[in-house]
Chains A and B, each alone.
Chain A
Amino acid sequence: MLNKSLKEQEKRQQWITPLFRFLFAFILSTIPAYADNLIVISREADSYHQVADSIKQSLNTNYKVITLKELDENSHSIGDYQQIIAVGSRAADQLVTLAPADTPLYVSFIPRQTYSQLLIKYADHQRVKTKKITAIYLDQPYYRQLALAKLVTPSAKSIATALGPHSSNDRKLLQKAAKKMGLELKSVTLAETDNPIHKLQPLIKSADIFLSLPDKSVFNRTTAKWILYISFRQRIPLIAFSKKYVEAGALAAVYSTPEDIGKQTAEALKYYSVRSRLPDPTYSDYFDVSTNKAAANSLRIAIPSEEDLVEQLRGLE
């Protein structure tokens, strides 16, 4: 079914695309040059601007950057842009319907699960049906996180994690990734009504390494202090999902910065300009590794440098 519709679409594109290109070129010649592409950021915040700046720096095209609020308030016309990039979940949610259905929409800086939910929410929308939408995920593939865990603790046989309201949907994916890495996965699902010490203490004790997965902020905040505390006391290395988590005491984390996501988004835009079709949704190939040397010292373990860890992770992919 899917393949059939794709073929039909390709056939249509044989004549539609040149026509559209001609029309686009005509329209573009009549509007100011800056209006090539539009970047809509979810709100006024450094991280969103960093994504936008990174996209602009990676490409030579003109971009206009506006916030979602500005878009709402000024009734900014978005019909004149060749491509639209939504930075963040809220911008993505609005632009799926606001942007013309035939203008390619790049959803950037969004968690994978959230993007999947968007597709379900707008499953009947023309854009989703015609695949005029793609995504650059902010979060990291499980394989990469587990690979980092193995690199800092090569002897680890088991890995534990606490699943929250969102990450619990990924239990099977995670299990599969762990198995592939030769790690036994031990997990518990933590609900708001659970006693964190009661659930986390035996869990952390039972494994060689603990992996903290991103979830809703409240879940992250309420569990982080106990995870940091108990793992530190039990001398269990903690692999986290952000630089801030590492600064707070986790041993290491692999993550993509806003700049990384911007670069990956620019690559998706380049892909379209070359192949005239949107790439599939993807994780960022650009990533950073942070380690906490004080934590390593406390755990009495020697871990490779951040440079080596990045190199080794790249090698594994």
Chain B
Amino acid sequence: MIHGKVPKHSKYLLSPFLLAIALGAFAQDHSELPDFTEEDIFMDIPQIISATHLSQKLTEAPASISIIDQQMIEASGALNIPDLFRLVPGMQVYHVSTNKMAATYHGMSDDFPSRMEVMINGRSIYIPMLSTVIWETIGISVVDIDHIEVVRGSNVPTHGSNAFLGAINIITKSPVSESGTQFKATTGALGTENFTARHSNTLAEISYTLSAGSQKNDGIEPYNDAGRNKYVTITGSITPNLSDTIHFDIGATNGYAYRGDGDKVDPIEADFSPREHRSNFQDLRWNRVLNNQSEFELRYTHNYLKLDTENYNAEELAVLESVPVAVAELLLAANNGIAPKDNERGEVDTHDISAIYTAYPTEKVSTVTGASYRYERARSDVLLQQATSHLEGNTLVVEYPGIGVYDWVDENRWKLFGNIEYHATDDITLNIGAMFEESSIAGGDISYRAGANYALTDFSTIRAAYSHAHRMPSLLEANSFYAVDLIADVDIYTAPYRSMESEEIESFEIGYLQLWPEYSSHIEVRAFHEEITRAMVRGQKIPATDDDGDLDISNNNAEWTNQGFEAQFKYTSPATHQSSFLLNYAYNYTDGLWDRGYYPPELHRTESLNNRTPLHTASILVSTKPTANSLIGISHYYMDHVEWLEGFSDKNSGRTNYTRTDIKLSNTFTLDTNSEIELSLIVQNVFDKEYAEFYSNNTFDRRTYLQLGLTF
């Protein structure tokens, strides 16, 4: 802000009397004070970035927020959405199999990372049946994304239980911002054949985008863990007047992804089989500007997902169990035909209705208050068979109506939440937020956060924040029961244990953010201490009436602390043909214990969790535009050795630390003012330094792709 004074002369001296005559329209009402005042000129104009449901500046938010912008998305050459999170400090991304991906924050995960909320335009895509996000079923692809906001650190007070360690909000491109049609085709490694199409238009009252895609590949040798996904979505905005905006987002997907045990070298032992998916979702959001100081939003969303896997037939089961076919047939009959090749199957339905009221009562205060109700239900003949259990002495007694008996299990969840932002002085911004959650299966919890930001300059700030939050058990964690009738006896693999408590996290962080807006550049540092207690980590054994020692219970059986720091530096040159440099680094020291229960039954086992999080994670993205039409993007990723909570756990396993370098070369050919062709070459792991992700034989070698885009 720069100040000036003009020399005194009369250029602007207008006679108020003449003006009054000119403004005859005002003469209609002489008794009322005009409703246009100085406060209209000094009003707040909402910003775009949101971490607390409030529109906030990054420098005033009570959390670290990483933005993955369009330039980063283009330069990274990422072919799937989770790969983009490699560009976020402290996040880890891995292929569980070629077509099943996972993304976690601060490690400590199996193939179902459960402690981050993920949203598309604010709609949660977290699947309570599996306590995770199933990325291949979400109904959008990289080309649909405008930008992604990642809140690093617990964000439960804003987004609820699932945002235990953080929250991701994927913002898709708005139909208002583009019009026309785009096609993109990608072919290359692993028999990849991806096609996407987008068409956007604005009609009389409605702006919409129709997006569809088909993705397939053959997987890696020797597993041939292929995958295919098709999706179609329609998103849009209806703006009947200045105050009302209605957004809608409707879509459906179907396809399959092969699942198996990538720790087994022998593909027959690895036993990959397809897991089919079918999903649909509807999201309707009405936003109304009530007056100059308040807004209201009402939202309804519905998500449906069905996962299906094959059952072994009698011949296959006979081979697997080394029994005669006749016995296998008896086994199938005893289990209602349920003999899944993969356990990940079932149906899940969630309905969510929420209301949010945002107010700006004074120049210094902004508030948001809201309430939501969610009904979710799931059923699975494998994961959610009907059973109850109780302890007799130290032994778990499981009671069930019969093997393969299952029905819907459901949950009602209420949320009340609020955040107040108070500008105590020009330099100090305080944020206090709280969330009360009440669940029909887990009782009630209050989570809260307090943050203080001190502005060193207009563009730099230091921040301290404390949060105390909870994660409630999901439908799966509260109800999991899977048993197999072996005729001679019943083998129980998982059973409900007791009413579990919520996981708890206490976190404290100090952050520093320096922006250089003229270069779209910044440096951001976050030091954190997180203490997680009563964590639910699968894999606790308990002596049970089924005493073959492989009964897992869900329990509050782990605790750990994370301490470390994360940093991001981004520099963008202001030159016409832009170049940019992005560096992410995270150091996270984890110290914790995992109660594995009794295995063998006479031995109580506790494991260290210290190696379940990579100590160092880093990434670099360099991009440059040598000409107006060309792009070179080079990304380099490093992840330290980690033992995930699932799969092969051995320091001698193939999963050592790894580095990977990707490159994207792209050139655009302009056909006319409205049309262009873009040709890209993407090489992942360009130096062919083969490494294993998640499972020890789930290898990632050099993969080359060719991409052709057409816009008109």
Binding site for B on A (CB under 8 A): 2, 42, 45-47, 88-90, 93, 109-121, 123, 135, 138-139, 141, 143, 165-166, 169, 190-198, 201, 214-226, 228-230, 233, 240-245, 247-249, 255, 257, 260, 263, 280-283, 285-290, 292-294, 296-298, 300, 302, 305-307, 309-311, 313-314, 317
Contact = CB atoms under 8 A, between A and B. Distances in A.
Interface of B: 1-17, 19-20, 23, 25-27, 30-48, 57, 174, 176-178, 202, 204-205, 207, 237, 239-243, 289, 291-293, 362-364, 517-520, 572, 574, 576
A310 B37 contact: no
Contacts of B292: 216-218, 220-221
Task: Count chain B CB atoms within 10 A of each CB in A123, A286, A294 and give the residue with the most.
Answer: A294
Task: Count chain A CB atoms within 10 A of each CB in B6, B9, B291, B519 and give the residue with the most.
Answer: B6
- Interchain residue pairs A-B with the least CB separation, the first 9: A217-B292, A293-B518, A306-B2, A310-B4, A294-B517, A222-B242, A233-B177, A248-B45, A317-B6
Contacts of B20: 116-117, 119-120, 123
B147 to A, nearest CB: 12
Given A143-B12, A233-B176, A297-B519, A169 B25 contact: yes
Contacts of B19: 112, 116
A3 B7 CA distance: 28
Contacts of B519: 293, 297
Nearest to A137: B12
Contact of B43 (A195, A196, A244, A255): A244
B45 A166 contact: no
A113 B34 contact: yes
A117 B34 contact: yes
Contacts of A166: 34, 36
Contacts of A285: 5-8
A197 B33 contact: no
Interface of B is mostly: loop
Contact of A193 (B174, B237, B241, B520): B241
A306 B1 contact: yes
Given A88-B37, A109-B38, A297-B518, A289 B239 contact: no
Given A89-B33, A195-B240, A230 B26 contact: no
A224 B362 contact: no
A314 B6 contact: yes
12 contacts: A2-B17, A89-B37, A111-B36, A112-B19, A115-B16, A195-B241, A222-B243, A230-B177, A282-B13, A285-B7, A288-B4, A302-B574
Given A90-B33, A216-B35, A244 B44 contact: yes
A195 B37 contact: no
B622 to A, nearest CB: 18
Given A88-B37, A113-B34, A317-B6, 16 more contacts: A90-B33, A110-B38, A116-B23, A119-B17, A169-B25, A216-B36, A218-B243, A222-B242, A222-B243, A244-B44, A245-B45, A249-B47, A281-B14, A289-B4, A297-B518, A297-B572
A197 B176 contact: yes
A192 B290 CA distance: 12
Task: Count chain B CB atoms within 10 A of each CB in A93, A218, A311 and give the residue with the most.
Answer: A218
B280 to A, nearest CB: 27
Contacts of B27: 120
B4 A120 contact: no
A289 B1 contact: yes
Contact of A317 (B7, B16, B26, B42): B7
Given A201-B202, A216-B40, A247-B45, A143 B4 contact: no
B2 A310 contact: yes
